[in-house]
Amino acid sequence: MPKTLTVMLFSGAAENEDALFAVRLAEAALDKGHKVQMYLFGNSVSLSKKEIPIEGDLHISPRLLEHIEPTKCFEALARLCAKGADISTCHTNEHARGIESREYVDGVKWGDVGSAFTKYLMTTDVLLSVGH
């Protein structure tokens, strides 16, 4: 019988591999027929927004870019949503980071702790918090 996995993600891209782990776990659960809910909180809210490419000199060495680029999960979150994942973000954390008005990655929804995350808690079989 399919179960519901809820992931509360705290870490964003390039901090560590927490976001990659969460995305890969969610994808594996979806591929096995389970339902996935993901709540983006803290620094992970930056993953909810469409990437704005920086033009000109990045002031980052090519080696560091090679390390950072694979940690970006923007497209992966859109793929999860397309596969049926329910992903929402904390608008309070977005506001605190000055990104609340930016466009969401396809499928990611505006959310809050009192409504979106509470709904996830009430409907989940497994809750996993990832990050710090």
Residue given tokens 């466009």 in the structure block = 103
CB 11 within 8 A of CB 130: yes
Task: Count how many domains the chain has.
Answer: 1
CATH of the domain at 86: 3.40.1260.10
pLDDT tens-place string over residues 10-62: 998 877 889 999 999 999 999 999 999 999 999 999 999 998 887 888 788 88
Instruction: For residue 72, name the pLDDT band (cuts at 50, 70, 90).
Output: confident
Q: Which domain holds residue 50?
A: 4-130
Dihedral angle sign, alpha carbons of residues 130, 24, 66, 108: negative
Instruction: Look at residue 69 in the predicted model and tell me its pLDDT.
Output: 81
pLDDT at residue 87 greater than cutoff 90: yes
Dihedral angle sign, alpha carbons of residues 82, 18, 72, 119: positive
